[in-house]
Amino acid sequence: MLSYNALLEMFRQNSVGIPLITRKVVLYHTATKIAYIPPVTSLFAKIPVLNLIVALLFWKPFFAVLFAPGLVCMLIALLPIIWFERKVTARVQWRYGPLEISREIGGLIQPMADGMRYFFQEVITHREAHRPYFLQFPLLTFLPVLLPILVIPAGAIYAINTPYSIPIAIALISLIPMIVVAIGWASNSKYAYVGSLREALMYFSYEIILIIAAMSMVVLYGSANAIEIVKEQSVVPGIVLNPVAALVFFIAIIMATSRFPFEIPEADQEVVFGPYIEYTGIIFGVVMTIAYEKLYLLCLLFSILFLGGWNGPFIPPLGDLSPVLWLFLKAFVLMMIFVFFRTFYGRYRLDQALKIGWSTLMGFAIVSLGISLGLGAINIAGWL
Amino acid sequence: MAGVKKIKPPSPDFLETIKLHLDAFGVGLREAVKPSRMTVQYPRELRKRPKGFRGMLVFDISKCISCFQCAFVCPANAIHMKKAPNGKYYPCVDYAKCIFCHFCRDTCSKGAWKTTNFMDVAFRSVDEMLLTTEKLVNGPEIPEEEREDEYIVEYEVRGGKLVLKKEMSPDRIVEVED
């Protein structure tokens, strides 16, 4: 059992260093007198309970999951990406998209307005639903969505530094389709049933190639630790060394997050949002964002494996947040590319998607594994 | 079967498929950067009405000879004749029935009916849609504070391509035309 002070000391030892908010701000400076605003973190340093809470918030594992690159960053990425998806699709299809709610900024606050509407909408549980599961599963999705953040590091901010971080992250992300299938079962309706079957079949078609593509990069760098993988990419990013693996991982992400042209489980023209059809209100708001949250996680993984992760110019005022910023920007640009496919693609049939996954992409995945084995054998990562 | 043309489904090979994907991506990018959309944002932009547009009717009471021809020819039975204090009969138009065919204007031997370039009107009730002769003489009017239009837009063919031409909205939007 830790004492209060020991706990406080433990949090403070491993806290996030952001000079922007932990530095004193000097107001004026004369020969005899210095007046300054004390840093935000030391405001509560002497107050018994608040200092523990502040220290906990800035404790690295907690900060990683809750703020950056965790929940808060995810929400920050989510709102503009939903707006961007609707807006760019409208532009390409010669429409205007969301506009009326704030004309001056092009309807940017539309997702926020939608979310607010979800909050005040009635949550209806229909009579046939398996009520406890129907209401529980959407909230349970936060487990597989937030747990991978524990092992996805961002520079100095990480929760767990383990040599198996990439496999653990992929394994935890793979739990999300289970919840989606369970949601479809708990809804107990025709469309939800068809949707969850489609989700299961898509899961079957992309999961193997996603794992092979990620593992080929692990083979190439000879380590499954994300921190070491990013360190190896300080000069040449992984996409140059093994572009085939990058392509396979890219297409697997499209399939995994049901973006076009593989938007098969949620196909709104056919099965009307598939597994999520029976949800209303804020619970619908939660389940609708599952695919985007998964997209965010996989984009973090893509930028760590192929784009050099958090490598980028160091920004002194941000301190530990500087690598997080680079990782976030890379992931955000990737997300923009992924949602852009909605604009010009149609939708593949289920059997076509299955065939692509198990023939062409499987071939590419095995080729990428071969390339990685060859490059790993001559230890190219060590040469560069 | 003669005259039936059979079309085979396209079966592109691997390289061709990649080229088609890239083409689609290029089209998407081009349209995202410079969309060739031609949506008219209606309350703020009005389409330019062509010459001879069949809009709301304006009635010139001094030319009317009470011949009833407009009421006879009206295919929707929208025109009623009403007795005025001077003993003559003058038309009233029920816009709940009017189909804007302008047969009344064509059939009038004295040219008492005129048209406007405007038909974006709203009524609060069905009863209000029956316009009496007094209201028909004045024609439709839009108060300045209720106008939302900023531009008048027009589709134009420029070099074989359809483009949208914008110009500022005039001060007076309703124009009466003979």
pLDDT of residue A40: 67
Crossing angle for the helix pair A131-140 and A176-187, nearest 10 degrees?
Answer: 160
Q: DSSP assignment, residue B80?
A: E
- Whole-angstrom distance between the N-terminal and C-terminal Cα of chain B? 57
Out of A94, A96, A344, closest to residue B28 by CB: A344
CB B66 within 8 A of CB B89: yes
Please state the pTM of the whole predicted model: 0.81
Say whether A92 and B25 touch across the interface (CB within 8 A): no
pLDDT at B76: 92
Q: Is A96 on the interface with B (CB under 8 A)?
A: yes
Give residue B131's pLDDT band: very low, low, confident or very high (50, 70, 90): confident
Neighbouring C-beta atoms of residue A325, cutoff 10 Å = 18
**How far B39 CA sits from the closest chain A CA (Å)?**
7
Q: Cα(B134)–Cα(B125) distance, rounded to whole angstroms?
A: 19
pLDDT in tens, A110-128: 888 888 888 898 888 888 8
Q: Please check whether residue A91 touches B, CB under 8 A.
A: yes
Q: Is A88 on the interface with B (CB under 8 A)?
A: yes
Q: Say yes or no: B123 contacts chain A, CB-CB below 8 A.
A: no
pLDDT, tens digit, for every residue of A340-355? 998 888 888 888 888 8
Q: Do A343 and B32 touch (CB under 8 A)?
A: yes
Please name every residue paired with B164 in a beta bridge, in sequence order, or none if there are none. Answer: B155
Contacts of B135 (CB under 8 A, 6+ apart): none
**Residue extents of the structural domains in chain A:** 4-58, 66-383
Give yes or no for A247 touching B (CB within 8 A). Answer: no
Beta-carbon count within 10 A of A194 CB:
19
CB contact under 8 A, A343 and B39: no
Structure tokens at A71: 């929940």
Q: Do B38 and A94 touch (CB under 8 A)?
A: yes
CB of B66 within 8 Å of a chain A CB? The answer is no
CATH 3.30.70.3270 for domain B57-140, yes or no, is: yes
User: Looking at CA atoms only, how far is residue B148 from chain A in angstroms?
Assistant: 14
Q: Which has more pLDDT, A44 or A249?
A: A249
pLDDT above 90 covers a percentage of chain A that reads 11
Contact A91 B38 (CB under 8 A): no
Tens digits of residue pLDDT in A318-331: 778 888 888 899 99
Question: Residue A172 above 70 pLDDT?
Answer: yes
Query: Looking at residues A231-243, what average pLDDT do you find?
Result: 84
Average pLDDT over residues A226-231: 86
**Residues in chain A within 8 Å Cβ distance of B27:** 344
